[in-house]
Chain A
Amino acid sequence: KAGVTQTPRYLIKTRGQQVTLSCSPISGHRSVSWYQQTPGQGLQFLFEYFSETQRNKGNFPGRFSGRQFSNSRSEMNVSTLELGDSALYLCASSLWVGTNTEAFFGQGTRLTVV
């Protein structure tokens, strides 16, 4: 079965611009979560979408937003980019079945803001 696909893999943007990242989950997985990973802050949770609804949210400013489509694909948008937004953005696709939950990460999108 195909894994989690994130596009693009690498991106360079200028301060003030906006960016949209895409995540295609594993077929049958209705939950998609987004994370930011940086050397300084480590791994941080952005938000989780389940059946097109945002279910959980981390502590990020409103510049970070997301959405999920009816086919479970998800997009994450960052507006008015800042240098500090440079990071690896990961998405994970999950099938929540209590303690038998499975989750798989995509390879990430490396965003560089210059």
Chain B
Amino acid sequence: QQPVQSPQAVILREGEDAVINCSSSKALYSVHWYRQKHGEAPVFLMILLKGGEQKGHEKISASFNEKKQQSSLYLTASQLSYSGTYFCGTEIPNSGGSNYKLTFGKGTLLTVNP
């Protein structure tokens, strides 16, 4: 039940916008977004909970469409510092619903050039 991320890679010029998508075949409890730069630990960006919402973090925001089991990460007016691999993590209830399994997508490599 690994979520599918698209695109796999994207190259931007500084100031351009990008959208990264994360889709699941299962009903989701939550979606997490992370960014990881090469050789560094991941950085947690945000969590979106079941109920459908959009939230923002500086010029990075995300939406969660519970019906479509999808989340999208929006990067606006990209900066050089946004370069890295973006992962989504989806939480799916285990049978019984008392706890959840967190599964990550393969990641989207974002490169921002001057």
Q: Which A residues are closer than 8 A to B by beta carbons?
A: 33, 42-45, 48, 55-59, 90, 92, 98-99, 101-108
Contacts and interface: CB of A to CB of B under 8 A. Distances in A.
Residues of B in contact with A, size category: 20 to 34
Contacts, number: 54
Given A55-B99, A99-B49, A99-B55, A45 B104 contact: yes
A45 B44 contact: no
Enumerate the 3 nearest inter-chain pairs by beta-carbon distance, A residue then B residue, closest first. Answer: A103-B44, A105-B41, A45-B102
A7 to B, nearest CB: 14
A5 to B, nearest CB: 12
B104 A43 contact: yes
A80 B54 CA distance: 45
Main SS of the interface on chain A?
strand
A56 to B, nearest CB: 5
Contacts of B106: 42
Given A42-B104, A42-B106, A44-B104, A107 B41 contact: yes
A57 B107 CA distance: 21
B47 A58 contact: no
Nearest to A42: B106
A101 B47 CA distance: 7
B100 A99 contact: no
A56 B99 CA distance: 6
A105 B42 contact: yes
B102 A104 contact: no
